[in-house]
Each structure stands twice: as C-alpha cells, then as structure tokens.
Amino acid sequence: MQQNPGSQTSNTRILVGVSTKMYLGYRDSLDWLERLQHEVDTRPALAAGRVVPFVIPSFPVLPAAARLLAGSPLLLGAQNCGWSDGPWTGEVAPSMLAELGVRLVEIGHAERRQHFGEDDAMVALKVRAADDAGLTPLLCVGERDGGQPAAAADFVFRQIESAVDGDWDLAGRLVVAYEPVWAIGAAEPAAAAYVSDVVRRLRDQLTAAGVPGLPVIYGGSAKPGLLPTLEGVSGLFLGRFAHDPVNFGAVLDEALLLAEGFTAPEPTPVGHVQP
C-alpha cells in the first residue's frame, strides 16, 4: 500500500499544504505554482522530510503541475475524486489521478458535503477508492457550529469512523484535515486554545481506536503565525492566505523551526489575498 505523507514518524512530521479551490485560472495557476516551488526550493532543509509540503490545484492543472514538480519535495494533490472507475460521467477516477502523479486527494470537504450532497456514505466510498488506487486520502472533517471542544471532538471522531467504515487499519493511512466549518472563509482562524483542545481530545479517542499517530492538520482561515500557537497539531492546510506564495514560505519557515525544536519568530505580515 502507498506511503502516507505523514506516516512513519507522523508525530514528528509537519505537513503544510494549500488548495487553490477555483480562485486561479490555468495560466495564473502555473505562474503561482512556479512561485510556490521557488519557496520550497529555496529551503533545502525540506529535503530532510521532517516538514512535508503539498499543493492541491484544480483538476485541469494536474498534468502540467506534475511535470513542473517532478523531483521536488512539494507533493501534488487533487481536490476531489470519484468513488470508482467506470461509467460516471464528469467524475475523475482515483486510478487516473495516481497515473498523473497525484499523491493525495482531498475528500469530504465541507463545501462538497453542503453544496454537492456528499454524505458520509459517499465520503466512505471515495476514501476506500482512493486508498485502493494508492492515494493518501486527505479527509476533511469538522463541526458545523462553534461550541464545546468535547462535543466537537466527538463529532469529528464519528466522521472519521464513518469515513473508514470502522476499518481502523484504513484510518492509519489517512491524513485528517480538521476544519471547523464555521471557521472556513472567516477573517480569523478558530482560537488556538480551542483547536488544541479539540485535537487533544480527538487524539485520545484515536489512540483508543488504535491509531495514535494519525496526522491531524488544521485548516480554516489558517495563515502565518498560527502554527507555533497550536499544540498536538501535525501541520496546516492553507487556503486563500497562501495564494501569496510568500505566506506559504513563511509557514514553511515556522514548521521547519518547530521541527528543529526552536521557537518560531514573530509572523510575517500576511500579503494581499482574495476576498
């Protein structure tokens, strides 16, 4: 089976990724990818593998992105996949994504659950199909409304359990993106103390289920300055704040310092982002 980007020593690896959603056109995406790759290439410490960067552009960009990123530490992901090969018009088979050089695939994002009717059963089918194709499922989970950390952790644990249909061996091959729905697109991320509390409680439940080292990264208006304030989190899943590649580089610097056991410096100013 595939190697999970966060596996082996997941508790010491830090994942830093970004999705473009549909913000960028084709040419702009390629220009942005070149700048993003520059941020990675100018940080040779990434070659050690203690910080794992990944990027998730739109489907039409994937073939060109795979060529551009060949040999780079920057892993390529996809924003979605179908639940099988076969007669499914308009879907993209996980096997084709793997053939293109995709390493991980985003599944179960809150936008797809809300606007495209993807329920827990469909998410589970996609997770299994992605895993069967040798891809790492990047499972997006998160509570709909802000509340108590204990309730949020219980809700997220049930989402993970459902996504793997109770197969905790399969769960061990996931990367979990904890994205509180109420924080997606907000001006600020969820409070660091809240996120850390939810993830701590979630890890207790995952440990009891037999997957103590499962990578859990935070997403939801994540930006520079957040990562050093979080406890027990395996990295960040960035969105619009990383559409300026300099901000992506700033988070990589924070992750590299944390991986070396240093205290991260004051965050750099966040660049212009799209609303």
3-state helix, strand, coil in the chain (%, to 5): 45, 15, 45
Which tokens in the block code for residue 90?
Answer: 């308009």
**Rounded to two decimals, what is the model's pTM?**
0.91
Burial of 86 (0-12, 13-18, 19+ CB in 10 A): exposed
Report the pLDDT value the prediction gives residue 273, as an integer from 0 to 100.
Answer: 33
**From CA 178, how far away is CA 155, in angstroms rounded?**
11
Number of H helices, E strands in the chain: 9, 8
Report the pLDDT value the prediction gives residue 3, as an integer from 0 to 100.
Answer: 58
Report the pLDDT value the prediction gives residue 261, as an integer from 0 to 100.
Answer: 81
Reported CATH class of domain 14-259 = alpha beta
- Crossing angle of helices 149-163 and 120-132, in 10° steps, is 60
Report the pLDDT value the prediction gives residue 265, as an integer from 0 to 100.
Answer: 44
User: Where do the structural domains in the chain lie, given as residue ranges?
Assistant: 14-259
Report the pLDDT value the prediction gives residue 24, as an integer from 0 to 100.
Answer: 96
Which tokens in the block code for residue 20?
Answer: 């473009």
CA angle at 80 for the pair 42 and 50, rounded to the nearest 5°: 30
> Which amino acid, one-letter code, is at 67?
R
Digitized pLDDT (tens) for each residue of the chain, 275 residues in all? 355 776 433 457 999 999 999 999 999 999 999 999 999 999 999 999 999 999 999 999 999 999 999 999 999 999 999 999 999 999 999 999 999 999 999 999 999 999 999 999 999 999 999 999 999 999 999 999 989 999 999 999 999 999 999 999 999 999 999 999 999 999 999 999 999 999 999 999 999 999 999 999 999 999 999 999 999 999 999 999 999 999 999 999 999 999 988 544 444 333 333 32
> Which amino acid, one-letter code, is at 92?
V
Closest CA to 110 of 226, 221, 230: 221
| Active-site annotation, residues | 109, 179
**From CA 11, how far away is CA 230, in angstroms rounded?**
14
